[in-house]
Amino acid sequence: MKSIPLLLTAALAFALPISLHAAKDPAKKEARKAAKQAIAQYDKNANGTIDADEADALKKAFDADKTGPLKPFDRNADGKLDDSEITAIKAGKKGGKKKKKA
């Protein structure tokens, strides 16, 4: 009988951290939304990625409004969108973290 409370405690100890990680991160959700909007606006051939010719339009739009909706994609804060930052948009990421290599 003493093992039942011990098992319940152990189960709760594992379930609580898992449930905390399962909660959706609002920042990640907003990042995905921003990336989808950028792709939708600049992906003229609708292939789901920003191609080289589309990247030029995206760079020009960022240059025209550096404080606008594309600002979070300038990860290194140099005032330009470089190729690696545009690749992050293709991957659906916003800011800070770079794509992990396998």
- Rounded to whole angstroms, how far apart are CA atoms 34 and 94? 8
Q: How many domains does the chain have?
A: 1
| Range(s) of the domain holding residue 62 | 25-90
Per-residue pLDDT reduced to its tens digit, 53-78: 889 998 999 999 999 888 888 999 99
Per-residue pLDDT reduced to its tens digit, 11-48: 545 554 554 554 567 877 887 888 888 888 888 888 88
> Phi-psi category of 96—alpha, beta or left, where left has phi over 0 and alpha has psi -120 to 50?
left
Is the residue at 60 inside a domain? yes
Is the residue at 15 inside a domain? no
Neighbours of 62 (CB within 10 A): 21
- Rounded to whole angstroms, how far apart are CA atoms 78 and 41? 23
